[in-house]
Amino acid sequence: MNLKFQKAQLVNALSIVMKAVSTKTSSVILESILISASNNRVVLDATDTELSIQTEVDAVIVKAGGVVLNAKLFSEIVRKFDSTESLIELEVDNDFKTTIRCEQAVFNIMGIDPVEFIPMPKIDRDAFISLSQFSLKEVIRQTEFSTAISDINRMMGGELIDVKNNVAKFVTLDGHRMSIRNIELMGEYEDQKCVVPIKSLQEVMRIIDSDTQKNVNIYFSKDHILFEFDRTLVLSRILDGEFFRIESMLSNDYDTKVNVSRLKLQSAIEQSMILIRENEHKPMILDIENGMLKLSVNSSLGFMDAKVNIEKSGSDLKIAFNPKFLVDALKVIDDDFVNIYFTNAKSPCFIRDDKNTYTYLILPVNFIG
Amino acid sequence: MNLKFQKAQLVNALSIVMKAVSTKTSSVILESILISASNNRVVLDATDTELSIQTEVDAVIVKAGGVVLNAKLFSEIVRKFDSTESLIELEVDNDFKTTIRCEQAVFNIMGIDPVEFIPMPKIDRDAFISLSQFSLKEVIRQTEFSTAISDINRMMGGELIDVKNNVAKFVTLDGHRMSIRNIELMGEYEDQKCVVPIKSLQEVMRIIDSDTQKNVNIYFSKDHILFEFDRTLVLSRILDGEFFRIESMLSNDYDTKVNVSRLKLQSAIEQSMILIRENEHKPMILDIENGMLKLSVNSSLGFMDAKVNIEKSGSDLKIAFNPKFLVDALKVIDDDFVNIYFTNAKSPCFIRDDKNTYTYLILPVNFIG
């Protein structure tokens, strides 16, 4: 094989597939990438068996072929070449001895026969939805935090994608809180449902653009989900089994409704968190009255309270939370003002908008007061 | 005590004294700062016993007094207050209960009696030199890397400051290399000599400005060195004993002189380092010929060579180095082209300029070739 790359393009393609390269593995293949050139296409492939990524890169194909190279080493060599203008030449002989040349520098490293590589599984491409890269990036960012890696319940480490009546619902929950984002799809799609490991979605989020004009196609198959965008394919295993029954946890009833500046509330809660040492589990207490929300923390480090102006309807309420759970939700919401709905001190609160694009459920904690 | 601070000024003063706060200590005092207000001055103090920092901060003194507060906690509270405009009020009662107020938030934390604090030692201010903050920052940056924390020889963890005939020489060495920077002082000063723990100089470097117009006064006393600049004092213990005899290590003789683009050489060496795994101790071999320097590395990961154009006078030479030691020196030099002087494959090379402002000595390593 003999290929010539432009450095910036190769670096970009490598940074995409590197996201599926295992860092902690004893398998030589799982810490490698496959470079293959055939039919006038050069493709990079990487897999950690859970997640597989394939991307196409522009190159001059002097001679077609393929090689498997250590991903970290090859990527470091390419990145360290000076010029972004000069071509990087990759030459592989029949024993997979690989020569990488750029300007006055030459590297010789050992490659592996491509037949050793684990190919990306082929899946049916019947059932799919399409949405903008921007939307997908946003919904993952706005839900990824309420997950938990747990051996007891693997579903907490996944995100439900539930397509129904051309609305895609993205849901995560970790036992203390739940995050829901709904996206109206442009087009007519069949109903679909699957649970994707959050790590896979996070890698997709890191690769895709914040571009509203470019789309992602998402294909659903029995054991896998496939994301197709630009010149890249990301294939992930999905989690076996049923997701939680989330409908039973939701409620539109409330006794107290608060409308508050998102940033002012977030800032006051972040102040209160200073006094809470990790593992101390001290609650933050909210005192909700007409026009004013008072939050306070009393811990081994000291005592604090802060007042935030609100608009309130319904009953006064005293309720306690783990402040981090409230802040995590407030941080990812885009609205300047949010509505928070409460029932009583033992029931979850809901942060949600009127258009039903997001719902954050947060369980309160016990307190003495 | 009752003081009113402007947030940005208090944050700035805290960030200065925090550099002398111990992070790993069981002493409550060493992880605290002293705030004292008297004679219309508000001063912050911190010490880890090696290093003491004192800085003045603007404040409205409603009532004079003092308190010792946990540095991290107080600093986090101050930083998290929203407004940079609003005043932060600090009120301390007779039991050192401390109230910190800003807009709609109030914190109550426990302070400690200032008599518990370790005051900054008073030193004689007879012997001193003065140089610009910019120059001091530069010489520390250009020498700090060739130090070693060693129980066998504590001098390797220090930097020699040697003032002679109105030139200040800054020297560090770690057994493999030595870095020397000379600064001509503006003014007439007595000769001085001391060895300062590199950590103290690094903290000074981080606090001072890159300003050529503002000066640092450095005072030398028996056990301490004091840096005075802006509204800040930094006092450090000095190391007991004699520094290495560096004159005997220096030589102006050479058999080979190379003039080379600093960045081109640095870039080629950094490329070669990709193939050297940590703890592998593979040498980088330099082949110096007329007009061309070839560097190569042969390791378990592969083989590389790179060519760099040079101007050479004197003999051809083959010599090997730990590439990191060459790069560390090249990275901190400001000149576009550097002169490197060699004698033979067993003797150190010297990177130095004609004006004698810097000299970097680097020992070669053995190689088979």
Q: What is the pLDDT of residues B210-255, one digit of tens each?
A: 888 999 999 999 999 999 999 999 999 999 999 999 999 999 999 9
pLDDT of residue B99: 98
Does a structural domain hold residue B226?
yes
Question: Both A137 and A69 in a single domain?
Answer: no
User: A303 and B275 in contact by Cβ < 8 A?
Assistant: no
User: Is the CB of residue A267 less than 8 Å away from at least one CB of chain B?
Assistant: yes
Question: Both A97 and A140 in a single domain?
Answer: no
Average pLDDT of the residues in A360-364: 98
Q: How confident is the model at residue B268 (pLDDT cuts 50, 70, 90)?
A: very high
Does a structural domain hold residue A212?
yes
Q: Flag whether pLDDT at A171 surpasses 70.
A: yes
User: A305 and B105 in contact by Cβ < 8 A?
Assistant: yes
pLDDT of residue A280: 81
Q: What is the pLDDT of residues A109-126, one digit of tens each?
A: 999 999 999 999 999 998
Does a structural domain hold residue B216?
yes
CA B228 to CA A274: how far, in whole Å? Answer: 34
Q: Work out the percent of chain B whose per-residue pLDDT is above 90.
A: 90
Question: Both B31 and B136 in a single domain?
Answer: no
Does a structural domain hold residue B369?
no
Instruction: Map chain A to HEC letters.
Output: CEEEEEHHHHHHHHHHHHHHCCCCCCCCCCCEEEEEEECCEEEEEEECCCEEEEEEECCEEEECEEEEEEHHHHHHHHHHCCCCCCEEEEEECCCCEEEEEECCEEEEEECECHHHCCCCCCCCCCEEEEEEHHHHHHHHHCCCCCCCCCCCCHHHHEEEEEEECCEEEEEEECCCEEEEEEEECCCCCCCEEEEEEHHHHHHHHHHCCCCCCCEEEEEECCCEEEEEECCEEEEEECCCCCCCCCHHHCCCCCCEEEEEEHHHHHHHHHHHHCCCCCCCCCCEEEEEECCEEEEEEEECCEEEEEEEEEEEEECCEEEEECHHHHHHHHHHCCCCEEEEEECCCCCCEEEECCCCCEEEEECCECCCC
Question: Both A41 and A108 in a single domain?
Answer: yes
Question: Which residue is closest to A109 within chain B, CA to CA?
Answer: B302
Q: Work out the percent of chain A whose per-residue pLDDT is above 90.
A: 90
Cβ-based contacts under 8 A for chains A and B: 76
User: B107 and A76 in contact by Cβ < 8 A?
Assistant: no
Average pLDDT of the residues in B115-143: 95
Beta carbons of B237 and B197 less than 8 angstroms apart: yes
Surface of B (300-329) touching A: CB under 8 A? 301-308
Q: Flag whether pLDDT at A303 surpasses 80.
A: yes
Q: Which of B105, B109, B305 sits opposite A271 (nearest CB)?
A: B105
pLDDT of residue A211: 84
User: Is the CB of residue B80 less than 8 Å away from at least one CB of chain A?
Assistant: yes
Q: What is the pLDDT of residues B284-333, one digit of tens each?
A: 999 999 999 999 999 999 999 999 999 999 999 999 999 999 999 999 99
User: Is the CB of residue A84 less than 8 Å away from at least one CB of chain B?
Assistant: no
Q: Which of B81, B301, B306 sits opposite A109 (nearest CB)?
A: B301
Question: Both A175 and A283 in a single domain?
Answer: no
Q: What is the CATH number of the domain that holds A9?
A: 3.10.150.10
User: A105 and B77 in contact by Cβ < 8 A?
Assistant: no
**What DSSP string runs through B200-253?**
HHHHHHHHS-S-SSSEEEEEE-SSEEEEEETTEEEEEE---SPPP--GGG----
Question: Both B237 and B312 in a single domain?
Answer: no
Instruction: State the total domains in chain B.
Output: 3
Q: What is the pLDDT of residues B70-104, one digit of tens each?
A: 999 999 999 999 777 789 999 999 999 999 999 89
Q: Which residue, chain included where needed, has tokens 């005043």?
A: B87
User: A301 and B109 in contact by Cβ < 8 A?
Assistant: yes
Q: How confident is the model at residue A168 (pLDDT cuts 50, 70, 90)?
A: very high
Question: Both A267 and A290 in a single domain?
Answer: yes
Average pLDDT of the residues in A250-278: 95
CA B214 to CA B211: how far, in whole Å? Answer: 6
Print the domain residue range for A184.
127-247
User: Is the CB of residue B335 less than 8 Å away from at least one CB of chain A?
Assistant: no
User: Is the CB of residue A112 less than 8 Å away from at least one CB of chain B?
Assistant: no
- Which domain-ending residue is among B116, B145, B170? B116
Does a structural domain hold residue A28?
yes
Strand partners, A296: A285, A305
Residues of A in contact with B109 (CB under 8 A): 301-302
Question: Both B67 and B135 in a single domain?
Answer: no
User: A301 and B274 in contact by Cβ < 8 A?
Assistant: no
CA B330 to CA B295: how far, in whole Å? Answer: 16
Does a structural domain hold residue A122?
no
State the smallest CA–CA distance between residue A80 and chain B in angstroms.
6
Which of A75, A304, A310, A327 has the highest number of chain B CBs within 10 A, making it the mutation to test binding with B? A304
Q: Which of B73, B105, B308 sits opposite A306 (nearest CB)?
A: B105
User: B80 and A270 in contact by Cβ < 8 A?
Assistant: yes
- Which domain-ending residue is among A197, A217, A247? A247
The token pair at A288 is: 């909700």
Strand partners, B259: B311, B339
- Which domain-ending residue is among B197, B220, B247? B247
Question: Both A235 and A262 in a single domain?
Answer: no
Q: How confident is the model at residue A369 (pLDDT cuts 50, 70, 90)?
A: low
Of the listed ranges A80-94, A261-275, A342-356, the one predicted with least confidence: A80-94
Beta carbons of A369 and A285 less than 8 angstroms apart: yes
Q: Flag whether pLDDT at B111 surpasses 80.
A: yes
User: Is the CB of residue B174 less than 8 Å away from at least one CB of chain A?
Assistant: no
Question: Both A233 and A214 in a single domain?
Answer: yes
pLDDT of residue A86: 81
Question: Both A243 and A258 in a single domain?
Answer: no
Q: How confident is the model at residue B367 (pLDDT cuts 50, 70, 90)?
A: confident
Q: Which of A82, A270, A274 sits opposite B267 (nearest CB)?
A: A82
Question: Which residue is closest to B304 within chain A, CA to CA?
Answer: A107
CA A189 to CA A217: how far, in whole Å? Answer: 12
Does a structural domain hold residue A369?
no
Q: Which of B76, B267, B302 sits opposite A108 (nearest CB)?
A: B302
pLDDT of residue B57: 98
Q: Which of A77, A108, A303 sits opposite B274 (nearest CB)?
A: A77
Strand partners, A5: A88
Q: Flag whether pLDDT at B369 surpasses 70.
A: no
The predicted complex's ipTM stands at 0.89
Question: Both B23 and B103 in a single domain?
Answer: yes
User: Is the CB of residue A106 less than 8 Å away from at least one CB of chain B?
Assistant: yes
